[in-house]
Amino acid sequence: MRRGRAQARLELEAALEGEADRLQAAKQAHADHPSEETRAARRAEMESLAETRSWLRALHAIGKAEREITRLASRGATADEIRPYEQQITHIRAVHGPLIDAMAQLASAPAAEAGGELPPGAAEAAPPVVRGRARFGKGGDV
């Protein structure tokens, strides 16, 4: 199982690298020959890479939360302590569920593969998305 996951992870990383290479080529093509056609091609590659990255990060976040739940459960943590991680998984699946299912089928990847324990001395920050919002004519004095 572990070997299968490692193999799947390598395949995912290779796929991401391939997408990044295609994006670089599309950006270069647009820089060399700016046109509506090359701009559209560049945008298409950006869409593709953005989608793949979203999927991988969703898997990573789910895997991380599952490992935390396992760790807490082994320590005899209370349901209240575990609940935030369960809610996090539910939220990620609610937002990315269809994408996770579709991509997992394509890649034959386990549902929550990606990521792993950090080695000693390392740290991982995972900030939430920064949200800017437009408020057209809401709440203002007219």
Partner 1 sequence: MAWTASGLMVAAHIDKWDDSQLATDLTSETDLKAAFYGSGVTPNFGTDTAYNAGTWATANESAGAGYSAGGLLVVNTTLTHATGSMKFDADNFSIPDSTIIAEGYLLYDDAHADRALGAVWFGEPFETQDGTFLVTHDSLGIFLLDLTP
Interface residues with partner 1 (CB under 8 A)?
20, 23-24, 27, 42-43, 46-47, 49-50, 53-55, 57-58, 60-61, 92, 95-96, 118-134, 136
Task: State in angstroms the smallest separation of the CB of 121 from partner 1.
Answer: 3
Contact (Cβ atoms closer than 8 angstroms) between residue 49 and residue 19: yes
* Cβ distance to partner 1 smaller for residue 76 or 119: 119
Question: Which residues does 96 contact at the CB level (< 8 Å), separation at least 6?
Answer: 54, 55, 58
For partner 1, the closer CB: 4 or 39: 39
Residue 79 and residue 74: Cα distance in Å, rounded? 12
Least distance between partner 1 and beta carbon 83 (Å): 19
- Of the two residues 1 and 123, which places its CB atom closer to partner 1 in the complex? 123
**Which three-class secondary structure state does DSSP give residue 142?**
coil
Q: How far is the CB of 138 from partner 1 (least distance, A)?
A: 9
What is the radius of gyration, based on Cα positions, of the chain?
20
Nearer to partner 1, 1 or 122 (CB): 122
Q: What is the distance between the alpha carbons of residues 118 and 85, in angstroms, rounded to a whole number?
A: 18
